Amino acid sequence: MEKIRAKDMRKSTGKAKNRKLALLKPYEAKQVIQNRAFKQGVTVVEVDAYKSSQVEYSTEIIDKHPLSQREWISPVTGKVIERDHNAAQNILDWGLHPSHHIKVKTFPKVTTAMVSSII
Protein backbone atom coordinates (compact mmCIF):
# COMPACT_ATOMS: atom_id res chain seq x y z
CA MET A 1 0.00 0.00 0.00
CA GLU A 2 1.30 3.43 -0.91
CA LYS A 3 1.64 5.98 1.88
CA ILE A 4 -0.98 8.62 1.11
CA ARG A 5 -0.87 12.09 2.61
CA ALA A 6 -4.09 14.11 2.65
CA LYS A 7 -2.05 17.31 2.42
CA ASP A 8 -0.64 16.28 -0.95
CA MET A 9 -4.11 15.42 -2.20
CA ARG A 10 -5.40 18.89 -1.35
CA LYS A 11 -2.72 20.82 -3.24
CA SER A 12 -4.43 23.26 -5.53
CA THR A 13 -3.62 22.64 -9.14
CA GLY A 14 -6.81 24.12 -10.53
CA LYS A 15 -8.22 20.72 -11.41
CA ALA A 16 -11.53 19.34 -10.20
CA LYS A 17 -9.91 15.92 -9.85
CA ASN A 18 -7.85 17.05 -6.85
CA ARG A 19 -10.91 18.49 -5.14
CA LYS A 20 -12.73 15.19 -5.59
CA LEU A 21 -9.75 13.23 -4.30
CA ALA A 22 -9.58 15.49 -1.26
CA LEU A 23 -13.07 14.32 -0.32
CA LEU A 24 -11.63 10.86 0.21
CA LYS A 25 -10.28 10.46 3.68
CA PRO A 26 -6.99 8.55 3.35
CA TYR A 27 -6.99 7.57 7.02
CA GLU A 28 -10.46 6.03 6.74
CA ALA A 29 -9.56 4.17 3.54
CA LYS A 30 -6.43 2.87 5.24
CA GLN A 31 -8.50 1.70 8.23
CA VAL A 32 -10.92 -0.20 5.98
CA ILE A 33 -8.03 -1.93 4.21
CA GLN A 34 -6.35 -2.78 7.52
CA ASN A 35 -9.55 -4.20 9.00
CA ARG A 36 -10.26 -6.38 5.97
CA ALA A 37 -6.66 -7.58 5.88
CA PHE A 38 -6.74 -8.39 9.61
CA LYS A 39 -9.97 -10.40 9.23
CA GLN A 40 -8.42 -12.40 6.39
CA GLY A 41 -5.04 -12.82 8.10
CA VAL A 42 -3.18 -10.78 5.49
CA THR A 43 -0.21 -8.51 6.21
CA VAL A 44 -0.36 -4.94 4.90
CA VAL A 45 2.89 -3.12 4.15
CA GLU A 46 2.90 0.65 3.70
CA VAL A 47 5.56 1.94 1.28
CA ASP A 48 6.96 5.43 0.71
CA ALA A 49 5.97 6.37 -2.85
CA TYR A 50 9.07 8.52 -3.45
CA LYS A 51 9.70 8.54 -7.24
CA SER A 52 7.67 5.34 -7.70
CA SER A 53 6.53 6.36 -11.19
CA GLN A 54 9.86 7.91 -12.23
CA VAL A 55 12.08 4.91 -11.52
CA GLU A 56 11.86 2.32 -14.27
CA TYR A 57 10.97 -1.00 -12.66
CA SER A 58 13.93 -3.38 -12.29
CA THR A 59 16.46 -1.03 -13.95
CA GLU A 60 16.78 1.73 -11.29
CA ILE A 61 16.91 4.33 -14.09
CA ILE A 62 15.30 7.59 -12.95
CA ASP A 63 13.58 9.28 -15.86
CA LYS A 64 11.28 12.17 -14.96
CA HIS A 65 8.32 12.84 -17.25
CA PRO A 66 5.47 15.37 -17.02
CA LEU A 67 2.34 14.03 -15.31
CA SER A 68 0.41 14.40 -18.55
CA GLN A 69 2.69 11.84 -20.21
CA ARG A 70 1.12 8.50 -19.23
CA GLU A 71 3.53 6.27 -21.16
CA TRP A 72 6.94 6.46 -22.79
CA ILE A 73 9.58 4.24 -24.36
CA SER A 74 12.40 3.14 -22.08
CA PRO A 75 15.82 4.41 -23.21
CA VAL A 76 17.38 1.26 -21.71
CA THR A 77 15.10 -1.62 -22.70
CA GLY A 78 13.11 -0.06 -25.55
CA LYS A 79 9.83 -1.22 -23.95
CA VAL A 80 6.74 0.94 -23.59
CA ILE A 81 6.44 2.00 -19.94
CA GLU A 82 3.02 2.89 -18.55
CA ARG A 83 3.32 5.31 -15.61
CA ASP A 84 0.71 3.77 -13.27
CA HIS A 85 1.69 0.16 -13.97
CA ASN A 86 5.37 0.99 -13.46
CA ALA A 87 4.59 2.70 -10.14
CA ALA A 88 2.49 -0.27 -8.99
CA GLN A 89 5.32 -2.69 -9.81
CA ASN A 90 7.82 -0.52 -7.92
CA ILE A 91 5.55 -0.23 -4.87
CA LEU A 92 5.03 -4.01 -4.81
CA ASP A 93 8.77 -4.67 -5.16
CA TRP A 94 9.71 -2.06 -2.55
CA GLY A 95 7.12 -3.46 -0.14
CA LEU A 96 8.50 -6.99 -0.49
CA HIS A 97 12.15 -5.87 -0.59
CA PRO A 98 12.64 -2.48 1.17
CA SER A 99 16.36 -2.57 0.33
CA HIS A 100 15.42 -2.13 -3.37
CA HIS A 101 13.76 1.25 -2.65
CA ILE A 102 15.38 4.06 -4.63
CA LYS A 103 15.43 6.29 -1.54
CA VAL A 104 17.59 3.74 0.32
CA LYS A 105 19.98 3.55 -2.63
CA THR A 106 20.10 7.31 -3.24
CA PHE A 107 20.44 8.63 0.30
CA PRO A 108 23.02 6.85 2.51
CA LYS A 109 21.34 7.80 5.81
CA VAL A 110 17.92 6.42 4.84
CA THR A 111 17.23 2.97 6.26
CA THR A 112 14.75 0.36 5.09
CA ALA A 113 12.62 1.04 8.18
CA MET A 114 12.14 4.62 6.95
CA VAL A 115 10.66 3.62 3.58
CA SER A 116 8.30 0.79 4.52
CA SER A 117 6.41 -0.35 7.57
CA ILE A 118 4.10 -3.21 8.42
CA ILE A 119 0.75 -1.86 9.55
Is residue 36 domain-shared with residue 86, that is, in the same domain?
no
- Round to whole Å and give the CA distance between 41 and 76: 40
* Boundaries of domain holding 59: 43-119
Is residue 36 domain-shared with residue 47, that is, in the same domain?
no
List Cβ neighbours of 47 (8 Å cut-off, separation of 6 or more).
1, 2, 3, 91, 94, 95, 98, 101, 115, 116
Is residue 50 domain-shared with residue 98, that is, in the same domain?
yes
Q: Are 47 and 115 in contact (CB under 8 A)?
A: yes
Which residue type sits at 75? Answer: P
Q: Tens of pLDDT along the chain (119 residues)?
A: 777 666 666 665 555 656 666 666 778 888 888 999 999 999 999 999 899 999 999 888 898 999 899 999 998 889 999 999 999 999 999 999 999 999 998 898 998 888 888 87
Is residue 56 domain-shared with residue 107, that is, in the same domain?
yes
Task: Answer yes or no: pTM beyond 0.85.
Answer: no
